[in-house]
Structure 1
């Protein structure tokens, strides 16, 4: 069995344990299974319905429902003016999206893969990221750049790069990297409402993985503040810090170490580089500990 498929199946088995580790899932007995793809789709649907300034553009996002079907059904519901198929020119449609944001709209700009964002890097960095703070807050740029990031199966090195560190080092950008369905839903809704440009890094291998979500987290008013780390597992000895798909691998590692008497905390900075943990001493080592 391929490594990526084993990880996918392991993530699916782990989904049932999430309720015991997350506050929102504990708050209601009426939890339902929602995969990450559907959580993202719901978030965009609700924000498109809530705010007529929101629109989605990118390659194959409309009639084809998106390369990974994240925008499934949105074109049929909102039409050509708000779900826009673009030519294969990332520099072109990213520039259109940035200009629309400066004019008062709230675009969601989908890259089929974040590797293609390199074709639009001037628009992302020099136009979107710098304008809001260089104008002293007079010119908001409320745009979300979203799409799959990182490695997947059979896509070669050109389509396997992780851009979290790249974009986290750029002043003016908020960078978000969700792990589960609750993260994906709450953080995407928050990103769309934010007046800053947000880079929203999804993971192709996580799209089909289901997680439990409570009735509270499925509310149309549910958002997760950008820049706050979360403790996925309490622990007393050492802290494991990761984001996106590797949060699940950290939980697996914590379970193995628990059998050897090592109690691990698993910390998820959903905005890598933006939510910086505080360094605190633990025994003979200094480990990053989240601020609770």
Structure 2
């Protein structure tokens, strides 16, 4: 699998460039490594190969094998080593090859990485970034298309973010690396080939800010990762039928920036949350509950959720049935408007 080779943005450039999502991540990693020699990359096949999705392509040749490390096939060892490196003053960035492969490192992430700073009353920082390609739409099988974000958002001590555009990918990976806390960096793999404008001279919004990406008046649709593009597609279809959808990109899954969401809901009176993950005990359920608590009197209908089904991820030929599409979002919007 190869990705289009595109010029990466110059940190001093003032003219935005069009880059695929994967190359924007590559450029963000390169800039962070250039500006701080304590930043290290670790993962399976990330060096000479450049990673399964070629996100780290060319970085080992540029920065050397001591800063871009090809690791054994052992996720627990990758994260455990990163914890030790962070204790020694480094800023390791770990790549988990696919979402379903993170679970061998789950103990290190949730039992150690998430708790060490708290255990030391803030005296010990854990600036570790764990990059996880996640989500569907690539025609793969289970362990390669899942959305495990709820496990990590549920764990105190972890920051969890997911960019949906190349520009956010470029800036958010740098902000995550600069964070003194551990960051789970969820990359929607379906968007690796999506091109978009990257402005290397101006940061868009802070790491943990949600953002309204389309204005509307009738209903608010909130989504994260690859589902943001699906929500925007649904909004365009709804507009043709006379319905005005406002779309909010969550961006940060923990902590959640509720300000733009609540402001939007108070204007529209209705909300739908869209996610690829199963609906049971999910991020969408938490956000729906919080919005109903904090904006109850502004709501003209219950907050509705669109999600994957509460089953293991199906064979590739059934992913189109399992994953929410624009039609399922529009069906939920119609139900919200019917109240």
TM-score above 0.5 = yes
Aligned to 2:200: 218
> Which protein, 1 or 2, shows the higher relative CO under an 8 Å CA cutoff with sep ≥ 6?
1
Equivalent residues of 1:63, 1:75 under 8 A apart? yes
Q: Give yes or no for the alignment of 1:265 onto 2:246.
A: yes
Looking at structure 1, the residues matched to 69 and 205 of structure 2 have their Cα atoms a distance apart, in angstroms, of 27
Q: Specify which of 279, 296, 300 is matched with residue 284 of structure 1.
A: 300
What is the CA distance between 1:226 and its match in structure 2?
2.1
- TM-score, normalised to structure 1, is 0.83
**How many residues are aligned here?**
257
Alignment check: 8 A CA contact 1:190 1:224 kept:
no
Which residue does 2:134 correspond to in 1? 149
* 1:239 corresponds to: 220
Residue of structure 1 aligned with 2:42, choices 46, 49, 57: 57
Secondary structure of the corresponding residue to residue 265 of structure 1: strand
Partner of 1:97: 82
- Confirm or deny that 1:67 pairs with 2:71: no
RMSD: 1.9
* Deviation sequence 1:33-84 (CA, Å, 0-9, x none): 1110011000100110100110001001111111111001100011011000
Decide whether aligned partners of structure 1 residues 191 and 223 sit closer, same or farther in structure 2, where only a CA change above 3 A counts. farther
- TM-score between both structures, scaled by the size of structure 2: 0.72
Q: Are the counterparts in 2 of residues 189 and 223 from structure 1 also a CA contact under 8 Å?
A: no
**4+ long deviations beyond 6 Å:** none
Q: Which moved more, 1:156-165 or 1:249-258?
A: 156-165
Does residue 48 (structure 1) correspond to residue 33 (structure 2)? The answer is yes
Deviation, structure 1 residue 114: 2.1
- Check whether the contact 1:148–1:201 (CA below 8 A) recurs between aligned residues: yes
Alignment-derived partner of residue 22 in structure 2? 37
Deviation at 1:31, TM superposition (A): 3.6
Which segments of 5 or more consecutive residues in structure 1 lack a partner in the other structure?
1-27
**Contact 1:140 1:195 survives alignment (8 Å):** yes
